[in-house]
Structures are given as C-alpha cells and as structure tokens.
Amino acid sequence: MANRATREAFGETLLELVEEGVNVAAVDADLAGSTTLNKLGAKYPDRFVDVGIAEQDMVGVAAGLSLTGRVAFTASFAVFGVGRCYDQIRNTVCDAGLNVKICPTHAGVTVGEDGATHQMLEDIGMMRALPGMRVLVPADYRAAKAAIRIAAETDGPVYVRMGRHKVPEVYDETFEGGLPYAGVLREGADVTIAACGVEVAQANAAADLLAEKGISAEVIDVFSVKPLAEDVILGSVAKTGHIVTCEEHMVYGGMGSAVAELLAEKCPTPQAFVGMRGFGTSAPGDELIAHFGLDAAGIVAAVEGLLA
C-alpha cells in the first residue's frame, strides 16, 4: 500500500460505521475537506454538522448529540480542536463522561509549511491529563481506522490523534489495536525504542541502522498512550534495561512522560527522550522531522548516548 496520511482513515471509517448501523454523528469546524469528514457529509448529511469556525460550539453540539444516543465525533486541526476548546472538552465532555470522541487531524510538526502556529505539540499531554479521557495515537492509515473503530465502540471520551503527513505502512488490514495496546514490532536485547504515531516508522528504520552497529533494539508501538499497556513496556525494559521514547510531541507531558511515570513507580530504568523541546517552524514535514532530530538518525543518536 502506498504511503497514506492517518487523517485519510477518518471520513472513510465513519462512512463504514454508519453503513454497519452504528449511530454515528460528526461535527466539524469549517475544515471538512482537510479532516475528510466531507465524505460523510456528502453521503449522509443528516449525520454531519458544520458549525463554522467555532470549535467551542463544535464540542458543545457534539455533547448534545451524545445525549440523544449518538456516538459523536468532533474534527478540526489539532491546534484548534484541542487548544481552542479545552474548557468545553474538560468541563462539558469529561466531567460528565459523555460519549464524545475528540479526533483532530494535522497534529505535530509534520503539518509542515503551516508553521508553528498550526503545529500542535502539547495535545497528548493535555488530553491524557483529563480524568476519563483515553488517548490513541495511530502509526499509520490502518492503525487510524482501528483507532476510530475503537473510539466508536468505547463508551465515554476518547482522543484520537491524526496527522496530515503521508506515513509508511506499518500494519496490514488485520490490525485491530485495543485499549490498552502496545505492539512489539521487533524484538531486541540491548535497548527498547517505544514510539507512537509518525515516529513508529522512524523507530523501525532506526533499529535497522542500530543493527548495523551491533546494537539490538526492541521496537514497541505505543498505540494506546492512555491507558498504557503496562505489561508490554515493563516486560521489554526488564529484558533490555534501557528505553528511548519517541514522539512527534513535546517531551513534556506526552507519551514519554507517561512511560517515565510508569517506570518510576514500577521499574526504574535509564530513559532518553526523543521529541520536541520548543515550537516548530515552517518547512516541509520530512525536513522538520530531520531538523528537530525526530528521524531515524536522531533516534540512533539518542540510543547511543543512552547506552554510553
């Protein structure tokens, strides 16, 4: 399969769910072409609401739809669909435990040329801090389809993080994921590389480079950041004794922090963090991944530094 963006799975999967009889509705904030919800709106206009550039209203409308029995999804760019309406997500959705799914696209630096104002880097931390919220970060198109299905099947708030950038295929059509779920993609003995989202493909590439240097890396896809698949992570570090966490997100509060909290409590382990430490800038997504050390070479450098 050709490289596809995780956002491409959104509209397609909601269409499938409607046609399977799931009582889905979606609310967008004037970005349906980019989020791909236009596919749902074109075929099932009674399942789609566009509130315009009003993300707070988007969450409020979704909350109301959930109270009528609908499985309500929201969509916008991550910087708007989380940042502009955090109050509504916190106080309207999570405090009441409503069946609303926050599913923005265009997360991370791979939004690219849109620049720092549109590159959401704090959303995983914001969402995983909320009581009752689950957080899924799919690695590719098929993982994103699975994440949307899990969100629809799970009662209560779920956050699914998707991107604009086309990413390499990691999984085939049999992938189902789970809550919690972390998959060991490659076994190793010297170091664990735990990655999520676009960084999973980079972690796989880094493991190949490390093997050429005689370093055996175990690669884990942390598909579910909250809840964590604790046994998978703890089992891996018990074997390797070292871990590098990799995410297209700030190193503060994200997946790496979640792993560090787990290890601090249950299995203290030397850890290095690959992620963002400041705002991004405007450039093509691939260039930004390399510029900020989020590519395979950056992961290799982090592993070598940790092992040294």
pLDDT digits (tens, 9 = 90+) for 148-172: 999 999 999 999 999 998 999 999 9
Candidates 8, 55, 247, 248; catalytic one: 55
pLDDT tens for each residue of 230-261: 999 999 999 999 999 999 999 999 999 999 99
Residue 300's pLDDT is 98
247 is catalytic: no
Evaluate whether 230 touches 194 at the Cβ level (below 8 Å): no
Evaluate whether 12 touches 39 at the Cβ level (below 8 Å): yes
Q: What is the mean pLDDT of residues 95-114?
A: 95
Give the Cα-Cα-Cα angle 295, 301, 303 (nearest 5 degrees).
105
pTM: 0.95
DSSP element (H, E) containing 274: strand 271-276
Domains belonging to the chain, first-starting first, are 4-167 (3.40.50.970), 183-307 (3.40.50.920)
- Omega cis (within 30) before 180: yes
